[in-house]
Amino acid sequence: MTAQIAVVDASIGDTPAQQNFQRELDAGTTVFEASAGERPPTPASRRWSFDGVVVSGSQTAVYDDRDWIHELTDWGRRVHAAGVPALGVCWGHQFFAQALGGRVVDMGEYELGYRSVERLGDDPLFDGLPATLTSFETHSDRVAELPPGATTLARNPYGVQAYRVGRTYGVQFHPEYDRQTASWVIDGKQLPDERLAAARETITDEAVAAADATKGLFDNFRDLAVDHQPTASEPTPRTTDGRR
């Protein structure tokens, strides 16, 4: 069975977000450009046909006053309430945290480049992955408070790097990035030259190879999505004759 994943692209303009997620998810994907007002149907809709959802990074802040963010927040809460497997990456990690009752703040600095992340405990999302993960980071906001009931799954000196609440996951790092995307992101930052040079120095053969191992979480997420069963809060689909 091929998983069907709704990819919510929250990035602005021409970015490699869509191609990166479509490559790494290895699933049937339908992309919705959030900043253009697109979003998937709600799980209660007859148009719902997905096993899971992924929300990408963005150049915005989740606390920005934008109509599409407010509208997406309502949708995200409905997805979570229905128990649909969901994965937020970077901005998506912060988005779900805030939407579900957590708090996101400006760090006052950038975490940029390939970094190490320490796992905490076990979770199916990280099955088969090393205890110390390597992945690319690019963010200046962080999750300061997790939503009620959430469990921290990974941390580094900048704070929470992964969490789970119900069937909703967030990862602050970018497991979907390849070397080319990492270079593209750094080159696009308006930061002091020495700061950019330090970030470029993290793009080594060793770091890129180690980050490839972290991509396995997409396989794990796809398996979680395929195995997903409706919860009590989800409507049971009707048959063609109207019976449940």
Q: Please, which residues bridge with residue 113 across strands?
A: 137
Catalytic residue among 24, 80, 90, 137: 90
Which two three-digit tokens encode residue 26?
């290895």
- Is 90 among the catalytic positions? yes
Q: Which is nearest to 55 in space by CA: 13, 99, 14? A: 99
Which two three-digit tokens encode residue 47?
């148009």
Distance (Å, whole) CA 216 – CA 219:
5
Catalytic residue among 80, 93, 139, 174: 174
With contact defined as beta carbons under 8 Å apart, do 77 and 42 qualify?
no
- Is 174 among the catalytic positions? yes
pTM of the full predicted structure?
0.92
Tokens 């689909």 -> residue:
237
Instruction: Give me the tens of pLDDT residue by residue for the chain, a chain 244 residues long.
Output: 689 999 999 999 999 999 999 999 999 999 999 999 999 999 999 999 999 999 999 999 999 999 999 999 999 999 999 999 999 999 999 999 999 999 999 999 999 999 999 999 999 999 999 999 999 999 999 999 999 999 999 999 999 999 999 999 999 999 999 999 999 999 999 999 999 999 999 999 999 999 999 999 999 999 999 987 654 344 433 323 333 3
- Is 70 among the catalytic positions? no
Within the chain, residue ranges assigned H as helices are 17-25, 67-81, 91-99, 179-187, 193-200, 205-214, 216-227
Which two three-digit tokens encode residue 186?
């750094």
Kind of pairing between the strands at 132-145 and 103-119: antiparallel
Structural domains of the chain in order of their starting residue, each with its CATH number: 4-227 (3.40.50.880)
Catalytic residue among 24, 111, 137, 176: 176
